[in-house]
Amino acid sequence: MAKHRVLLIGATGETGGDILSGLVEDGSFDISLLIRPSSTNTPKAKALEAHGFPFVVSDLTEPVDQLVTKIKGIDTIISAIRSQEALSEIILVEAAAKAGTKRFLPCDFGPVCPPGGIMAVRDTKEIVHNAILVAKLPYTFVDIGFWHQFSFPPVPSGKLDYAILFPGTNVIYGDGNAEGILTDKRDLGRFVARIIKDERTINKKVVAIADALTQNQIWEIVERLSGEKMNRTYVSADEVVSQLARAKEAAVASGNEKVNLEVIAGSYNWSRYVRADNSPENAKYLGYLDSRELYPDFRPIGFEEFMREALQGKAKKLYADGKVEKLYNDGKR
């Protein structure tokens, strides 16, 4: 039997790389990678080529019919495109509908949150979702909560600092009791491999869940595993709301509204810790299928397991090329 043919967009990124690993590990897929013409000669792309992955080269601005011929015969398209480029998925949606692609996973892979003005990045994703529905393209929308890798505080000894990308994980927002969905980023592809082979998930939203923890629970876990007495600095819910309002005002004033990391961080904090949008309960309300019910036999990497590794110095710093940090620091200036 012919293998399930997958086209992956964004394999050189954090999310795409994890998805690729999981699909390869699964072994049941013929994987092609969509690469932009400007990226075919980058070291990352060269490394992927050396592994034997065929490239579909497109900048996603070509005529739809031309793109259709390139993706003909693909069963499943998975997009892990950079969030700033999410809207360029739309041409791929149109091409996929014409090419008869059997399932399309747009670049979701984020926290659970409804559209409607809470997080700009989520609203952009909704435009892509709607384009999929208009095209009547079979889909699965997959969210994964927050990565363990983004969701732990520093410890007083400093031994976790090496693995912390953003500041702001050192405080507890609101009362610290908002439950949030967590997954280990290394499990992304394992979840995706299961989801795209599963007819139950066609035309559905799925949320991958390893753990659902509050910040207070996370602090207790880190305290217990590290043996260190943790600081507990609280930022009230009201302060989260006004921080966000101030960040939005500043963004408007500075003209730097488009990718403003203060606004993004503020929106995330509001959604995650004050509104508790990213809870299993809210995911259920929003109609998501729960990976724990779909795949009871799959044991994802738990938060504690990740923390043990991180405390042993084995966690990997994300976005190691420093681009995201640069963006963040530029945004603060």
Stretch that binds a second copy, among 42-50, 116-124, 290-298, 311-319 (CB under 8 A): 116-124
Stretch that binds a second copy, among 99-107, 112-120, 299-307, 317-325 (CB under 8 A): 112-120
Task: Verify whether residue 323 is a known catalytic residue.
Answer: no
* Alpha helices in the chain, H assignment, sequence order: 14-26, 43-50, 64-71, 89-99, 120-134, 188-196, 215-226, 237-254, 261-269, 280-285, 291-294, 303-311, 323-332
What CA–CA distance (Å, rounded) separates 295 from 195? 9
Instruction: Tell me the closest approach of the beta carbon of residue 188 to a second copy, in angstroms.
Output: 25
Stretch that binds a second copy, among 61-69, 132-140, 177-185, 238-246 (CB under 8 A): 132-140
Of residues 87, 286, 318, 324, which one binds a second copy by CB under 8 A? Answer: 286
Stretch that binds a second copy, among 44-52, 60-68, 114-122, 178-186 (CB under 8 A): 114-122
Contact letters for a second copy, residues 197-236 (x by CB under 8 A)? ------xx--------------------------------
By CB under 8 A, tell whether 28 contacts a second copy. Answer: no
Q: What are phi and psi of 267, to 5 degrees?
A: -65, -40
By CB under 8 A, tell whether 87 contacts a second copy. Answer: no
Instruction: Tell me the closest approach of the beta carbon of residue 96 to a second copy, in angstroms.
Output: 15
Q: How far, CA to CA in Å, does 187 sit from each of 8, 127, 142, 191, 211?
A: 16, 27, 13, 6, 12
Q: Which two tokens stand for residue 266?
A: 């503020």
Q: Which two tokens stand for residue 330?
A: 């530029």
Q: Are 32 and 56 in contact (CB under 8 A)?
A: yes
Q: Which two tokens stand for residue 317?
A: 């710093």
Q: Are 219 and 234 in contact (CB under 8 A)?
A: no
What CA–CA distance (Å, rounded) separates 208 from 294? 10
By CB under 8 A, tell whether 237 contacts a second copy. Answer: no
Instruction: Tell me the closest approach of the beta carbon of residue 127 to a second copy, in angstroms.
Output: 8
Of residues 13, 100, 114, 176, which one binds a second copy by CB under 8 A? Answer: 114
Q: Which residues bind a second copy (CB under 8 A)?
A: 114-118, 127, 130-131, 133-134, 136, 138, 203-204, 282, 285-287
